Chain A
């Protein structure tokens, strides 16, 4: 049996995961609905004063995105763990970290990218000015892949556990804090007309760092969880 090349293995796995997600479209919708629902809860809780909403909107949208990303994490490895494909990845000739990267990229395309489509709508609901909304989109595009990358480590550590969900949030949420700080701050600064290059550079740095390191940690964690 000849093994496919590295890039081909990556593409095949990415395609497989996207196809699987397409076949189960309703599962894609749920994190999105959650994102919208959590955001609509805030005006009901703190009052609908537009000035107040505009002030807290970046934080609210980002916290909601954080929670939505965390809730959808469970599906990264769950079905592969249950039907045994994960063990096949482990013994395959390709490096596990590359396969993990393909899975995480697919997961982000399925759960992270739709957030970007809904976010402008939520921005309008919370009365964000146009400049802030475009910054919000940029920060979401840079930040949500980081969430998927870091989250994958947590999922890999808890994949074999029965009640992994609560522990997962305890493991992953503290590590999400830098993304939240830089992203929400960037949106806030954009609303105030301040430069945001520093925030965006730092977010990009986080993205590069997490993309290069987290697949290695995730692969190591998977090997331990499945041993």
Chain B
């Protein structure tokens, strides 16, 4: 077990192991997404107030969850990279940023499409929409800093600091914005006691959430493989790899 983690830390073995995992993760993601979409779009009953338009929730809510989840992964991976000088953690942190930004963007777009029939406007300065927008800015800042620094190892460590500062600030920003203004419907899944959502809606939602997580895992491994190849382009094993194929 320990040996496995040790191997995972070396770029060469990571490249091999990740290559083996990606097809399985992708297949599981596709299967779950099909099940979740079918359950969500066809099986789940229409909402008594919102009719069928609530079904965008099955995309909107998981992407909003992912947007926060990936930022935390990025900060944790960045911290591991800073503390133990693990190259691979830096690679994971950096590869996560664009994916997280895309999920944040997706959550914003689906949110505003959902908002149009519900609130009567594409954009309202609602607390959770606004903090999602600020989260997007935080992601863009991380990506801008990474691309601005020439030396990629320095860049990765600088962005790790920024991500950690961001993680400390996210709750502060979230609650300050929440306090500032709120229109959004309250959270319906995490309420204590019985969730105020029909089980037939909850199950596809959770299936979609797992599918989105698997999607992230697949894409982050693909991106990390490319990043590893770029960083190690002068290493012996990369040259051999290129020669063969």
Contacts and interface: CB of A to CB of B under 8 A. Distances in A.
Given A157-B158, A157-B161, A175-B169, A182 B144 contact: no
B135 to A, nearest CB: 8
Interface string B169-196: 1001100110110000000000000000
Contacts of A134: none
A32 to B, nearest CB: 27
Contacts of B161: 153, 157, 217, 220-221, 224
**A interface, by DSSP: helix, strand, loop or mixed?**
helix
B176 A174 contact: no
Contacts of A56: none
Contact of A213 (B157, B158, B168): B168
Contacts of B141: 167, 170-171, 174
A224 B173 contact: no
Contacts of B226: none
Contacts of A135: none
Interface centre among A157, A182, A220 (most CB of B within 10 A): A157
Contact of A177 (B140, B158, B177): B177
B146 to A, nearest CB: 10
A177 B180 CA distance: 11
A37 B169 CA distance: 31
Contacts of B222: none
B176 to A, nearest CB: 4
Interface in A148-200: 153, 157-158, 160-161, 163-164, 167, 170-171, 173-175, 177-178, 181-182, 185
B177 to A, nearest CB: 7
Contacts of A67: none
B73 interface: no
A161 B165 contact: no
Given A153-B161, A167-B148, A182 B140 contact: no
B145 interface: yes
B162 interface: yes
A185 B164 CA distance: 28
A2 interface: no
A158 B145 CA distance: 8
Given A153-B162, A170-B137, A220-B82, 16 more contacts: A153-B161, A153-B165, A157-B145, A161-B149, A167-B144, A167-B145, A174-B134, A174-B137, A178-B172, A181-B177, A185-B180, A206-B172, A217-B165, A224-B154, A225-B154, A225-B158
